């Protein structure tokens, strides 16, 4: 059975060109970047070139890019460092952040040293910017604002520029989880007032276990991992050379093809939405009144005895999609994001998320199957 993969917000397949760039660093160029002889110098150069590539694409300085193991580590580091090193004693976040942010905020909230609050959201999951400003205005504490650039389940986008300006006005630290937007949108950090952003390579056809934390040069944070002083003393440990090289290559390809991919993938989303509306009575979509990620279509199917098992039935039929966030255990505990929208529970949410490798034929086949299953 040919499988259809519509879960690209969970992870994407590695681009063969990225793999080709990584392979030499798994074989002939295996040196430890800290070694002073030629093998080491080669891999050191590869890492620093990767850093320059990433920095140029994101509009920042190479010294502001730190390679990490992915979105989760970057989010944890930004939040923990804001409290420990930057004096933040209050955190403003939203109830629809990824667990890598929410559980971290919850953890530090419980230690008693920081207070936390949620910003209000409208019915489409958009941040209420007036509420954010009011919260910033009313607190005398040093604030960390951590809000995601795009939500991984429903695709709702944040006006990152506007939030950056608010944070600047009230002297707050701003972190944005950009895991779903780096590699999909052109981000120019030189135009944004953001202190930290997080990204992960596997969301744009790069390798898993790779990511970056951008740290604006105006702030200084201390290490969490001590040892050999790698990553300019922030994150010790021999570098994941092929992962870093792969991350930069994937970002380079994604950026070069961004306009074409955006149009192609965006059209797949429009196509699937129209097909579903025609084939399945009662189908609706989350966040249909606002702009959302062009990669994500979050559909609500009427709840029936059959549709309750929709994801399982799709899987049996070789169609891979997701109910909520695929980043957690796979056990269906209900999505905190859908719950936060307060829409009740008389529907079944399925997230379809697309990549440049998907086709309209796959959509035709999936909609045909969905019609059968519902």
Ligand X SMILES: Cc1ncc(COP(=O)(O)O)c(C=O)c1O
Site residues (vs ligand X, CB under 6 A): 70-72, 98, 100, 148, 152, 177, 179-180, 200, 211, 327
- For the record, the structure tokens of 96 come out as 């629809």
Nearest CA to 223 among 77, 363, 356, 68? 77
d(CA 145, CA 163): 9
Q: Check if 327 is active-site.
A: yes
For the CB of residue 8, give the shortest distance to ligand X in the complex, in Å: 11
Q: Which C-beta is closer to ligand X: that of 164 or that of 207?
A: 207
Sign of CA dihedral 365, 371, 373, 374: positive
Q: Which C-beta is closer to ligand X: that of 21 or that of 76?
A: 76
**Complete DSSP assignment for 151-172:** -TTT-BB--HHHHHHHHHHTT-
Q: Which C-beta is closer to ligand X: that of 108 or that of 374?
A: 108
90 contacts 141 by C-beta, under 8 angstroms: yes
For the CB of residue 253, give the shortest distance to ligand X in the complex, in Å: 18
184 contacts 262 by C-beta, under 8 angstroms: yes
d(CA 47, CA 25): 11
Q: Which C-beta is closer to ligand X: that of 46 or that of 156?
A: 156
75 contacts 224 by C-beta, under 8 angstroms: no
What residues form DSSP beta bridges with 148?
none
Those residues with Cβ within 8 angstroms of residue 77's Cβ, 6 or more apart along the chain or in another chain: 68, 213, 221, 224
For the CB of residue 289, give the shortest distance to ligand X in the complex, in Å: 22
Q: Which C-beta is closer to ligand X: that of 112 or that of 330?
A: 330
Q: In the chain, what are the helix, strand and coil shares in percent, each to the nearest 5?
A: 40, 15, 40
For the CB of residue 149, give the shortest distance to ligand X in the complex, in Å: 8
Say which of 143, 167, 300, 327 is annotated catalytic. Answer: 327
Q: Which C-beta is closer to ligand X: that of 44 or that of 202?
A: 202
d(CA 260, CA 256): 9
Full strand arrangement of the beta sheet holding 143-146: 65-68, 211-215, 196-200, 173-177, 143-146, 90-93, 115-118
Active-site residue list: 327
């Amino acid at each position: 059975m040919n499988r259809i993969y519509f879960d690209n917000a969970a992870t994407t397949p590695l681009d063969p060109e990225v793999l080709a760039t990584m392979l030499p660093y798994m074989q002939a160029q295996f040196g430890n970047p800290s070694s002073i002889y030629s093998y080491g110098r080669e891999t050191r150069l590869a890492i620093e070139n990767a850093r320059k590539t990433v920095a140029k694409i994101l509009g920042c300085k190479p010294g502001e890019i730190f390679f990490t193991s992915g979105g989760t580590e970057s989010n944890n580091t930004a939040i923990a460092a804001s409290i420990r090193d930057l004096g933040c004693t209050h955190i403003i976040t939203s109830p629809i952040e990824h667990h890598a942010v929410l559980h971290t905020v919850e953890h530090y909230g419980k230690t008693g040293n920081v207070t936390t609050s949620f910003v209000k959201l409208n019915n489409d999951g958009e941040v209420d910017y007036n509420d954010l400003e009011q919260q910033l205005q009313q607190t005398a504490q040093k604030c960390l604002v951590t809000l995601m650039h795009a939500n991984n389940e429903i695709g709702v986008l944040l006006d990152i520029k506007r939030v950056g300006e608010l944070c600047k006005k009230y002297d707050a630290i701003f972190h944005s989880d950009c895991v779903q937007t780096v590699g999909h949108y052109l981000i120019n950090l030189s135009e944004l007032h953001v202190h930290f952003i997080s990204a992960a390579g596997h969301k744009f056809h790069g390798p898993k276990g790779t990511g970056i934390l951008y740290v604006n040069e105006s702030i200084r944070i201390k290490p969490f991992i001590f040892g050999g002083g790698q990553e300019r003393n922030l994150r010790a440990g021999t570098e994941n050379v092929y992962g870093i090289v792969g991350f930069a290559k994937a970002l380079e390809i994604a950026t070069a093809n961004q306009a074409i991919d955006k149009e192609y993938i965006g059209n797949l989303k429009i196509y699937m939405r129209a097909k579903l509306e025609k084939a399945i009575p009662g189908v609706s979509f989350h966040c249909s009144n606002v702009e959302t990620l062009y990669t994500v279509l979050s559909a609500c199917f009427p709840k029936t005895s059959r549709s309750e098992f929709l994801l399982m039935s799709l899987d049996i039929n070789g169609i891979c999609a997701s109910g909520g966030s695929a980043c957690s255990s796979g056990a269906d505990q209900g999505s905190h994001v859908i719950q936060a929208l307060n829409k009740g529970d008389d529907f079944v949410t399925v997230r379809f998320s697309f990549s440049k490798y998907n086709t309209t034929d796959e959509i035709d086949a999936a909609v045909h199957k969905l019609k059968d299953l519902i």
